Amino acid sequence: MRVGVLERYREWLPVDERTPPVSLLEGSTPLVPSRNIGPALGLERLYFKCEGLNPTGSFKDRGMVVAVAKAMEEGARVLVCASTGNTSASAAAYAASQRLRAIVVVPAGEIAMNKLSQALMYGAKVVALRGNFDEALRTVRELAAHYPVALVNSVNPYRLEGQKTAAFEIVDALGDAPDYLVLPVGNAGNITAYWKGFREYHQAGRCRVLPRMVGAQAEGAAPIVQGRVVEQPRTVASAIRIGNPASWEGATTARDQSGGLIDAVTDTEILQAQVLLASSEGLFAEPASCAPLALLVRLARQGRIDAQSTTVVVLTGNGLKDPDAALGNVEPPVELDGDARALAKALKL
Ligand code: AN7
């Protein structure tokens, strides 16, 4: 029977009998072997971890379930977060399921409409703050320091505890850790959490390999790559439009301890990777999730990935979250009168 993250990885999480059994049956997402991109790049073992199949359509649910359960255990009734979209959708959903209040603060005009619609439908109080994500995060951190609200951004360590379970699942599926784990880096919580998960499993003898952690930022929002805060982050990938990541040090530690790298890709590369992924694998991921594929394509073409290595690309969010960003790169539908002859002619059958 399917279970959520708290139940599946109970002994690896900071929970006990006092922790409420929160669950939307998150986690246990498919690890799909590449049928076409891997062979085209000369990579024999390429997999996609499809985190867009979580209950609210992104990996955030893994961490949110733990953060919400612990907040409830500690008596909280109000959750608050800043978000580029997916965290707000996740916080709002778990709050709804537990009858808690959720307040989500998003950068005004900067998040994908479908993510906003999720937060609103789940019944959160949505505040659109004039400013960028980094300013929204600063604001909610200050709010949580002075008022009785539980902050559920990834600065909350329980979020990272939950998110590390994705690393466990990959090892449990492959029988060992991959050689490369490639993922997007925004606020840098997820790369920090994966690295923690792999190290814990390694220490417990569950895997022999420790992966090289490969992070992708968008060129206009690449503070870790450039080694300095980006005041006005810009990219089509709104989920990772972040100029001052909260887990900056966690990301550089993961990169350096694992012998990995964090590099930037352009918006054009991101959107090309998105179309490639959807049209050649049948997997539709949001732009931020395609940044790591764009980086992998570049590294493979440069001959920097060994052909026999095992590589996992984490597809962090569902493509349906942000279709507007994608549709500029495909042919629009042809409009026709409804008869078969006209259809056959248009299709050159
Ligand atoms: C699809 O929702 O920061 O490096 O507020 O939604 O752990 O921040 C989202 C981030 C990658 C980056 N992919 O992860 C938010 C938010 C998707 C995302 C990231 C995000 P982190």
Structural domain harbouring 150: 60-155
Burial class of residue 286, CB neighbours in 10 A (0-12, 13-18, 19+): buried
| pLDDT tens-digit readout, 119-171 | 999 999 999 999 999 999 999 999 999 999 999 999 999 999 999 999 999 99
Q: What is the pLDDT of residue 338?
A: 82
Is 311 a member of any domain?
Answer: yes
Q: What is the pLDDT of residue 271?
A: 98
Q: Are 236 and 188 found together in one domain? A: yes
Domain total for the chain?
2
- Ligand 1 site, CB within 6 A: 58, 60, 83-87, 154, 184-190, 239-240, 286, 288-289, 316-317
Residues 150 and 168 in one domain: no
- 202 and 179 both lie in a single domain: yes
Within-domain flag for 335: no
- Positive or negative, the CA dihedral 267, 269, 272, 276 is negative
Residue 252 is part of a domain; what is its CATH number?
Answer: 3.40.50.1100
Tell which of 131, 155, 179 closes a domain: 155
Judge if 64 and 102 occupy the same domain: yes
The confidence score (pLDDT) of residue 328 equals 87
My answer on whether 278 and 239 are in the same domain is yes
Give yes or no for a contact between 283 and 320, defined as CB atoms under 8 angstroms apart.
no
Weakly modelled stretches of the chain, pLDDT under 50 = none
* Judgement on whether residues 137 and 166 belong to the same structural domain of the protein: no
Task: Looking at the structure, tell me whether residues 297 and 189 fall in a common domain.
Answer: yes
Per-residue model confidence (pLDDT) at position 337: 86
Same domain, 163 and 119: no
Helix axis angle, 86-98 relative to 113-121, nearest 10°? 10
String of DSSP letters for 245-261: -TTHHHHHHHHHHHT-E
What does the block give as tokens for 109? 């005009």
Q: How far is the CA of 60 from the centre of ligand 1 (A)?
A: 8
129 to 26, 82, 108, 132, 140: CA distances (angstroms): 29, 10, 5, 8, 11
| The overall pTM is greater than 0.85 | yes
Q: Which residue's C-alpha comes closest to atom 18 of ligand 1?
A: 239
